[in-house]
């Protein structure tokens, strides 16, 4: 069953630069499926899913923009109604608050939750990985209304590896140190990106994640191993 060219889940193809085309789609699962379909053709330099869009980069030396836009439109029009991919559940241990989560107090102020209530809700929820992006291994988990705070107005120049961030209801896992605009509520000693491994990415879209609160002592023991 292919919804056809008037699929209400897919918006018009727009230019996002001289070699970039963007299309809005209804949700991240559709975005992931469309981006994967584009990559499989070999016609694109990059095809990347966002939460509600796909941006594809074409080689202007190989194809003109009109042809590229037609290809993107055709691929988007033929998307099947696809169920959410099922994934294994992974437990990730986190130290919340203190020096490990310097923004927890502020997030609690914004959400009206006590720190204990925040941790209880965050560890009770099942979070699904919507996409990997930003930097290698960074996982965007799905949104929960309990954690709906905006990003920081000014991004931090450096956030530690293993940082657990909150923005727009989502939890984000920083696999690597680097700049970041999310509120940092905790930190895990888990390594989410192992460049030397055959499959270097610990998480993948669709995987379910549960958080477990851990004590700073346990973190330091694990990190020291």
Partner 1 sequence: MTIRVVKSGVQTTVQARPRSGLRHLGVPASGPADPLSFALANRLAGNALDAAGLEITLWGAAFAFDTDALIGIAGAPCEVRRDGRRVDTHATILARAGQQLDIGPATAGARTYLAVAGGIAADTVLGSAATYLPAELGGYSGRALRGGDRLQICDPPGRPAPVTTPEEFRPPTGRAIALRACESAESGLLDDEARHRLFDCNFTVGARADRMGLQLDGARFETTVAGRLETAPVFPGTLQCPGDGRPFLLGIDAQTTGGYPRIAQVARVDRHLIGQLRPGGHVRFLRRSPEAARQDLDSMLRYWSRWLPGIEALL
Task: Provide the binding-site residues for partner 1, judged by CB under 8 A.
Answer: 14-20, 22, 35-36, 39, 45-55, 57, 60-61, 65, 131-138, 140, 150-155, 157, 167-168, 176-179, 181, 193, 195, 200-201
- Tell me the C-alpha to C-alpha distance, in Å, between residue 170 and each of 7, 23, 26, 149, 198: 28, 23, 18, 9, 29
Shortest distance, position 179 Cβ to partner 1, whole Å: 7
Q: How many CB atoms lie within 10 A of CB 137?
A: 21
* Identity of the residue, 21 or 94, whose beta carbon is nearer to partner 1 in the bound complex: 21
Spatial neighbors of 217 by CB under 8 A, at least 6 apart, are none
Shortest distance, position 23 Cβ to partner 1, whole Å: 10
Q: How many CB atoms lie within 10 A of CB 24?
A: 16
* Identity of the residue, 2 or 15, whose beta carbon is nearer to partner 1 in the bound complex: 15
* Identity of the residue, 119 or 190, whose beta carbon is nearer to partner 1 in the bound complex: 190
* Identity of the residue, 35 or 214, whose beta carbon is nearer to partner 1 in the bound complex: 35
Shortest distance, position 35 Cβ to partner 1, whole Å: 6
HEC sequence for 44-94: CCEEEECCCEEEEECCCCCCCHHHHHHHHHHHHHCCCCCCCCCCCEEEEEE
Shortest distance, position 46 Cβ to partner 1, whole Å: 5
């Amino acid at each position: 069953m292919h919804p056809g060219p008037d699929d209400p889940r897919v918006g018009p193809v727009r230019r996002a630069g001289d070699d970039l085309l963007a299309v809005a789609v209804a949700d991240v699962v559709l975005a992931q499926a469309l981006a994967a379909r584009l990559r499989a053709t070999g016609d694109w330099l990059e095809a990347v899913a966002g939460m509600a869009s796909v941006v594809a980069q074409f080689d202007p030396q190989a194809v003109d923009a009109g042809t590229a836009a037609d290809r993107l439109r055709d691929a988007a029009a033929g998307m099947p109604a696809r169920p959410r991919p099922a994934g294994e559940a992974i437990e990730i241990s986190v130290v919340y608050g203190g020096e490990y989560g310097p923004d927890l107090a502020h997030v609690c102020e914004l959400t009206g939750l006590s720190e204990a209530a925040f941790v209880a809700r965050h560890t009770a929820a099942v979070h699904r990985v919507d996409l990997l992006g930003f930097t290698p291994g960074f996982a965007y988990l799905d949104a929960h209304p309990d954690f709906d705070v905006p990003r920081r107005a000014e991004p931090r120049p450096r956030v530690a590896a293993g940082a657990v961030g909150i923005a727009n209801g989502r939890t984000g896992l920083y696999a690597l140190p680097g700049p970041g605009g999310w509120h940092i509520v905790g930190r895990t000693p888990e390594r989410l990106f192992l460049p030397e491994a055959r499959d270097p990415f610990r998480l993948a879209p669709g995987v379910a994640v549960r958080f477990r609160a851990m004590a700073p002592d346990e973190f330091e023991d694990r990190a020291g191993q």
